[in-house]
A = this chain, B = another copy of it.
Amino acid sequence: MSSSVSPLAPKHVPDLPTIAGVRLATAEAGIRYKNRTDVLLAIMDKGTAVAGVFTKSKCPSAPVEWCRAKLKGGKARALVVNSGNANAFTGKTGRSSTALTAKIAAKAVGCSESEIFLASTGVIGEPLDATKFDGVLGGLAETAEAGDYLAAAKAIMTTDTFPKVATATVKLGKAKVTINGMAKGAGMIAPDMATMLSFIFTDAPIAPAALQALLKAGVEDTFNAVTIDGDTSTSDTLLAFATGAAAEHGAPKISRASDPRLKAFVKAFNQVLANLSEQVARDGEGARKLVEITVEGAKTKASARKIAMSIANSPLVKTAIAGEDANWGRVVMAVGKAGEPADRDKLSISFNGIRVAKSGARDPSYDEAQVSEAMKAPEIAIKVSLGLGKGRDRVLTCDLTKEYVAINGDYRS
């Protein structure tokens, strides 16, 4: 774990209100870390809807497989998250471990095992000793309170340098509903850490299928548009829980994602996802710069996304930004290697609003000193105009520093 907070951490951490129907508790279970909380139990009232999206990895962790299977029921009563051990690539032991954790949790909460959702993050390939949850989860269930989302966000951290929370309050019908979220990130993965986990809680009464549709649409331009190093965790998990408690204050029960009454809610929900995913980029391992890459004028949005990701994942682009070098030649390279339609002679590129390349060559007004000064900012916006069509997209990443190499090359030794 890093000892110093990322310089890109948000200056302001919001106070999160409570959400009716959700209770939280954390504990030090000693899974791997000492002297810090490493287990979170969230208990939801009966009738809570659940939705989830997961890593696309072909080698997912045992908890991801567990959640995928249980999601079919659409109902959740509890979430158990541990940090320190990802329970990934642990074979049959991993499956037994998730089953045992769910059994212990179900007993503690008083519900069916199929209503328990699990997420683990930390080292890969080490068997997770689920018996450590025995005794712990029972106590947590007794002490769980409506409470402390920041403490919950801290318990799920691994290489994160700061806890990540976000909140929004919005009208659904005439009732006020709340959306709280937390996330952990850092690299896109790492045995000994850095999987992306995120959990969203709301009191809005939204049916499972509708919640799933909202979540799937919402991640597209938020969590799916963030990359640290192009690596994909075996454990990435984003779960959303809707307790429905706001129905008591008159919030309408929503069964379809296309319901027009959802409009403001969807906006707020997506803002929470965007806020959390941006915080993940801000806490990229070793990051010193937040980098926003916008590609416009592509043939399609999908083509713009592919090009933006090619730029965002290019080690040469990322090291240049770390070196405060407006190295647009490397951006051209990354555009070229994306394999998407691009015409060199129509390409324009700007860094923080200063155009450096135009119509396939260096901008005639290029001023090295001016650009170098702009590159010193902690936030760098790279804009690429392809001049081919109306496709546009935006992704977030961070720079690639010597600290990234140190964090990922040294930590297990």
Say yes or no for A73: interface residue by CB 8 A criterion: no
Say yes or no for A334: interface residue by CB 8 A criterion: yes
Say yes or no for A410: interface residue by CB 8 A criterion: yes
Q: How far is the CB of A366 from chain B (nearest CB, A)?
A: 9
A329 lies within 8 A of B125 (CB)? yes
B316 lies within 8 A of A59 (CB)? no
The CB with the most chain B CB atoms within 10 A, among A58, A127, A188, A314, is that of: A58
B344 lies within 8 A of A89 (CB)? yes
- Indicate whether A329 sits within 8 Å of B402 (C-beta atoms), given known contacts A58-B341, A125-B361, A360-B91: no
Q: How far is the CB of A358 from chain B (nearest CB, A)?
A: 9
Q: How far is the CB of A232 from chain B (nearest CB, A)?
A: 4
A413 lies within 8 A of B59 (CB)? no
CA distance A322 to B411 in the complex (A): 12
Selected contact of A405 from candidates B127, B187, B231, B319, CB within 8 Å: B319
Which residues of A from 299 to 329 have beta carbons under 8 Å from B?
313-316, 319-320, 322-325, 327-329
**Interface size of A in residues (CB-CB distance below 8 Å):** 75
CA distance A234 to B408 in the complex (A): 30
Say yes or no for A66: interface residue by CB 8 A criterion: no
Say yes or no for A250: interface residue by CB 8 A criterion: no
Say yes or no for A400: interface residue by CB 8 A criterion: yes
Which residues of A from 347 to 365 have beta carbons under 8 Å from B?
347, 357, 359-362
B409 lies within 8 A of A320 (CB)? yes
A30-45 near B? 1/0 per residue, CB < 8 Å: 0000000000000000
- Indicate whether A315 sits within 8 Å of B413 (C-beta atoms), given known contacts A333-B232, A337-B57: no
Selected contact of A408 from candidates B90, B323, B324, B339, CB within 8 Å: B323
Which residues of A from 264 to 314 have beta carbons under 8 Å from B?
313-314
CA distance A330 to B357 in the complex (A): 38
Say yes or no for A47: interface residue by CB 8 A criterion: no
Selected contact of A93 from candidates B231, B316, B361, B412, CB within 8 Å: B361
B362 lies within 8 A of A332 (CB)? no
B-chain residues with CB within 8 Å of residue A182 when the two chains form the complex: none
A314 lies within 8 A of B231 (CB)? yes
A234-259 near B? 1/0 per residue, CB < 8 Å: 10000000000000000000000000
Which residues of A from 82 to 111 have beta carbons under 8 Å from B?
88-94
B-chain residues with CB within 8 Å of residue A231 when the two chains form the complex: 314-316, 330, 333-334, 337
- Indicate whether A413 sits within 8 Å of B324 (C-beta atoms), given known contacts A319-B408, A330-B191: yes
A337 lies within 8 A of B91 (CB)? no
B-chain residues with CB within 8 Å of residue A93 when the two chains form the complex: 361
A345 lies within 8 A of B412 (CB)? no
Say yes or no for A390: interface residue by CB 8 A criterion: no
CA distance A232 to B339 in the complex (A): 11
- Indicate whether A125 sits within 8 Å of B60 (C-beta atoms), given known contacts A315-B230, A325-B409, A344-B89: no
B-chain residues with CB within 8 Å of residue A338 when the two chains form the complex: 58
Say yes or no for A226: interface residue by CB 8 A criterion: no
Q: How far is the CB of A199 from chain B (nearest CB, A)?
A: 22
CA distance A93 to B89 in the complex (A): 55
CA distance A159 to B124 in the complex (A): 37
Q: Beyond A58-B339, A59-B336, A232-B333: 14 further Cβ-contacts under 8 Å?
A: A58-B342, A90-B362, A125-B362, A127-B361, A190-B330, A191-B330, A232-B336, A232-B337, A233-B333, A319-B408, A323-B411, A324-B413, A325-B413, A402-B409
Which 4 A-B pairs give the minimum distances between C-beta atoms?
Answer: A191-B329, A124-B329, A323-B409, A57-B336
